[in-house]
């Protein structure tokens, strides 16, 4: 991953302003430690700063990048997987580098703002057209890469990969929504990503085709093996990461990367000693014959890292911090091995209804609507975690399940096929398991292929979450929690764990705009608020852990539970994310075309 910072419409080009831009950009250097670039144009009123993590063309792909005549300039964070195909379909251009991202400048020269919808990849970028002094900013369809939008008191518009680069110089800032483009010509945001499956009102009916689904996923993984640097796969031993590793292991020999880095795949896992993920990951790695690297951490290691994790992930969401901490610790060790890119399994649970609470989906229509809601919110949760936890140490994470073409196939399937049917032996994500259940040439051992879902924060070791709650109970008194609504009227924390995270967050990001970027609302085992109605028992047991899915998880909490870090009474009803409903996030999750 890289870091970008853009200031458009500035009227200050003094040495002091340039120094300030460089200082703000330096806050993003953990994302791109390999090189720094700054483009300044007084006539266009712009600063474009870039902190580079070199993955493709490390020798000549420094940014910002230009079109042939250098009157279009772009700063990009991300990867464009179809850059070669785009080059072949376009008129001939003069390329300055072999960077996959340079194609954006040339494509914009050919087709203008329509270029954004033609890109296949994960990206956030700001492009300035020096010909008419206009600019655009855009973010990938799902929000795999982060982007924030802010406004300075001098009237300038700011864009940055992380809000830490905006928080001190912008009067107001917010999350740049996925699948959108900001155009200076139209003066605002508009959605460019409108696939058929994006509407919650249309229920798909395409018959399930295991071979089609399997082929689409294999292609998604293959795309992401595009690299000029050492790479590997994050392997928890669960279905999603194991399938990524299995497919990558099979396809690696066909790639150019294998000629440089070898045909044996590297895999990485993390957990407390003896945790479920470590055991399962080793078994998968042994089966696939990967070069496996196992990292352990202690509860104290995790607790010591919490403040840094919150600073880098820029959130106080309980689920995200629980899962980000082990990933943050593991990434540091991976980077120490010289690895710069990894594949990860985010997105599968949202697409296929893989979270354990989906067992209680009352109908295929409700299941489908919930998957859409979950996908639309990925940029606030799992995409944020995967990107920022790894970028904290200059490591890039790629997510095959969120491939645009794969999602088109998966989301067109009749959701009846995604329903959990115990009478037919179908557990969560059955259609993905069945697609890769090929006895004649197995991808994975049968018991791994049908292993029960574990959320990452659970799988690394149940005592991790228990340790977090115990630590928070020592940091936050009952009186502090009782008065939380006065200290934090917005997204009020309802548990001591959530209160503890909020205190740490406010130390780093005390601005009102910062706290408003974090989602809230009740949840059960990572559900949206709407899905809580599926089971009346869940209303009294709101917790983001998969073990909160009573009657579903093999290691579920007891049927009645009074968490030690909460207060009793209806006025203190537990919210799974640890705080109350967040209606102010509606400006981010609005229906398409509404602003």
CB-count burial class (<10 Å; 0-12, 13-18, 19+) for 151? middle
- Whole-angstrom distance, CA of residue 102 vs CA of residue 401: 25
CB 411 within 8 A of CB 197: yes
Report residue 177 as tokens.
Answer: 């929504």
User: Beta partners for 302?
Assistant: none
2, 46, 170, 383: the catalytic one is 2
DSSP string, 300-341: HHHHHHHHHHHHHHT---HHHHHHHHHHHHHHHHHHHTT--E
Q: Which residues contact 406 (CB under 8 A, 6 or more apart)?
A: 216, 217, 219, 220, 400
Q: Is 46 a catalytic residue?
A: no
CB 243 within 8 A of CB 287: no
- Whole-angstrom distance, CA of residue 476 vs CA of residue 384: 27
User: Beta partners for 234?
Assistant: 268
Q: Which long-range contacts (CB under 8 A, 24 or more apart) does 56-59 make?
A: 56/98, 56/99, 56/100, 56/101, 56/226, 56/227, 56/228, 57/97, 57/98, 57/99, 57/100, 57/228, 58/34, 58/228, 58/229
Residue for token pair 């396809």: 251
Q: Which residues contact 302 (CB under 8 A, 6 or more apart)?
A: 325, 326, 329, 464, 467, 468
548 to 42, 222, 277, 540: CA distances (angstroms): 56, 36, 19, 10
DSSP string, 50-81: EEE---SSTTT--SSEE-TTS-EEEEEEEEET
Q: Which of 436, 514, 575 is nearest to 160 (CA)?
A: 514
Active site residues: 2
């Amino acid at each position: 991953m890289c870091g970008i910072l853009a200031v458009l419409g500035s009227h200050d080009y003094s040495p002091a302003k340039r120094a300030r831009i460089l200082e703000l950009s330096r806050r993003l250097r953990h994302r791109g430690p390999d090189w720094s670039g700054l483009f300044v144009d007084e006539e266009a009123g712009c600063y474009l700063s870039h902190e580079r993590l070199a993955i493709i063309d490390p020798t000549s792909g420094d940014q910002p990048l230009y079109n042939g005549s250098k009157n279009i300039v772009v700063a990009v964070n991300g990867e464009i997987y179809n850059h070669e195909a785009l080059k072949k379909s376009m008129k001939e251009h003069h390329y300055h580098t072999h960077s996959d991202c340079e194609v954006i400048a040339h494509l914009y020269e050919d087709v203008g703002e329509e270029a954004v919808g033609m890109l296949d990849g994960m990206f956030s970028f700001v492009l300035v057209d020096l010909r008419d002094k206009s600019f655009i900013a855009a973010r990938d369809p799902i929000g795999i890469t982060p982007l924030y939008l802010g406004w300075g008191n001098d009237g300038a518009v700011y864009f940055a990969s992380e809000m830490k680069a905006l928080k001190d110089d912008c009067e107001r800032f917010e999350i740049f929504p996925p699948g959108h483009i900001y155009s200076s010509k139209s003066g605002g945001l508009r959605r460019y990503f409108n696939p058929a499956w994006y509407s919650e009102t249309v229920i798909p009916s395409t018959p399930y085709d295991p071979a089609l689904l399997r082929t689409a996923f294999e292609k998604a993984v293959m795309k992401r093996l595009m690299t000029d640097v050492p790479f590997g796969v994050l392997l928890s031993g669960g279905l999603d990461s194991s399938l990524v590793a299995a497919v990558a292991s099979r396809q690696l020999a066909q790639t150019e990367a294998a000629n440089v880095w070898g045909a044996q795949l590297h895999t990485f896992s993390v957990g407390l000693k003896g945790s479920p993920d470590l055991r399962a990951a080793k078994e998968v790695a042994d089966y696939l014959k990967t070069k496996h690297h196992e990292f352990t951490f202690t509860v104290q290691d995790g607790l010591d890292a919490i403040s840094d994790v919150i600073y880098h992930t820029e959130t106080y969401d309980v689920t995200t911090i629980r899962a980000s901490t082990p990933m943050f610790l593991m990434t540091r060790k991976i980077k120490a091995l010289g690895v710069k890119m990894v594949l990860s399994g985010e997105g599968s649970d949202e697409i296929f209804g893989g979270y354990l609470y989906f067992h209680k989906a009352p109908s295929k229509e409700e299941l489908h609507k919930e998957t859409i809601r979950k996908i639309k919110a990925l940029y606030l949760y799992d995409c944020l975690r995967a990107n920022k936890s790894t970028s904290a140490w200059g490591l890039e994470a790629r997510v095959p399940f969120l491939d645009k073409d794969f999602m088109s196939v998966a989301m067109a399937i009749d959701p009846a096929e995604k329903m959990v049917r115990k009478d037919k032996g179908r557990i969560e994500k059955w259609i993905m398991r069945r697609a890769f259940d090929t006895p004649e040439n197995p991808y994975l051992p049968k018991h791994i292929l049908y292993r029960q879902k574990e959320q990452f924060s659970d799988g690394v070791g149940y005592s991790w979450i228990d340790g977090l709650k115990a630590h928070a109970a020592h940091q936050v008194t009952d009186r502090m929690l009782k008065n939380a609504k006065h200290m934090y009227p917005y997204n009020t924390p309802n548990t001591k764990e959530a209160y503890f995270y909020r205190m740490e967050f406010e130390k780093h990001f005390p601005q009102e705009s910062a706290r408003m970027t974090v989602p809230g609302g009740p949840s059960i085992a990572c559900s949206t608020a709407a899905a809580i109605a599926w089971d009346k028992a869940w209303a009294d047991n709101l917790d983001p852990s998969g073990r909160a899915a009573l009657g579903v998880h093999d290691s579920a909490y007891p049927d009645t539970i009074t968490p030690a870090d909460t207060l009793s009474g209806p006025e203190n009803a537990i919210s799974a994310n640890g705080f109350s409903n967040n209606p102010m996030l509606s400006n981010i999750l609005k229906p398409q075309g509404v602003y």
